[in-house]
Amino acid sequence: MTRKFPRFLLATVFVVSVTALAQTASAGPALPPAPSAAGTTPDTTVGGTGSKIGTINIEQAIFASNEGQRDFEALSKKLEPKQTELKSMNDEVESLKKQLSTQGDKLNDDSRGALVKQVEDKQKKLERSVQDARDDAQAQQNEIAQRILQKMAPIIVKYAGDKGFGLIMDTSNPWPQGPVLWAGPSVDITKAIVDAYNVQSGVPAPTRPTTAKPAATGATKPAAPAGGTKPATTTPPPK
């Protein structure tokens, strides 16, 4: 799983950039929490009696799947107009701030006060718009990820049972945020699950690779008031 894959929100103005969320070797996004986060727990009933312990990076598996790459790329394109709108608002605030900085001492008190108020009002509007856009994008991201996870969970369970695993642990969050302190590559089943899911989903691999690298920071932030990963291991499937 060394191919880079698109993630969502190739933004230039979100407070936290999510453009760097998508490289298999260095992934990251605020991804949706655990399997039951959407209120519906995937069926993970299995009658296996295996004793092996395995690991899987659920976040990586979702985004590395052909379906995940396709749907998050589509979401990225869908959100481009909003990104353009936010950038325009940000540029306007910056322009007014520059005007205040260069001309403020030449204005009378009333004119300067009016300009300061204009900057503050537009700043607040920008911040509200950015937050609304982030919340909306996150909700759509979660919907996609949860939909994929609901279909992927039975594949994980079947694979674990067939291969003699008695326990599979998620390594999406590194220790100490996550439960796994260390695990060798021989127990990681992420690639095997992605391959199996791609076969079941029937979604073809992306026709073109993308070099977009999601980052938790680095996006242009809204103008200040007047006065956006974790590594995703690449490992072979267990035998």
CA neighbor of 25 nearest in space, from 189, 176, 214, 186: 214
Question: Taking the model in full, what pTM does it have?
Answer: 0.64
**Cβ contacts of residue 147 below 8 Å, gap of 6+?**
none
**Hey, what are 52's tokens?**
């092996």
Note the pLDDT of residue 51.
Answer: 83
Residue 230, pLDDT above cutoff 70: no
pLDDT band at 201 (very low <50, low <70, confident <90, very high): very high
Q: For the chain, how are helix, strand and coil distributed in percent, rounded to 5?
A: 50, 5, 45
Residue 106, pLDDT above cutoff 80: yes
Angstrom CA distances, 17 to 8, 213, 221, stand at 10, 10, 9
DSSP letter at 217? Answer: S
DSSP letter at 229? Answer: -
pLDDT band at 7 (very low <50, low <70, confident <90, very high): very low
Query: For all residues of the chain together, what is the average pLDDT?
Result: 75
**What pLDDT digit, counting tens, does each position of 145-176 carry?**
999 999 999 999 999 999 999 999 999 998 88
Helix (H) or strand (E) holding 72: helix 66-78
Strands (E), the chain: 22-23, 26-27, 52-56, 165-170
Q: Provide mean pLDDT across the span 217-233.
A: 42
Note the pLDDT of residue 75.
Answer: 95
Residue 89, pLDDT above cutoff 50: yes
Residue 233, pLDDT above cutoff 90: no
Q: Are 52 and 46 in contact (CB under 8 A)?
A: no
Q: Are 144 and 73 in contact (CB under 8 A)?
A: no
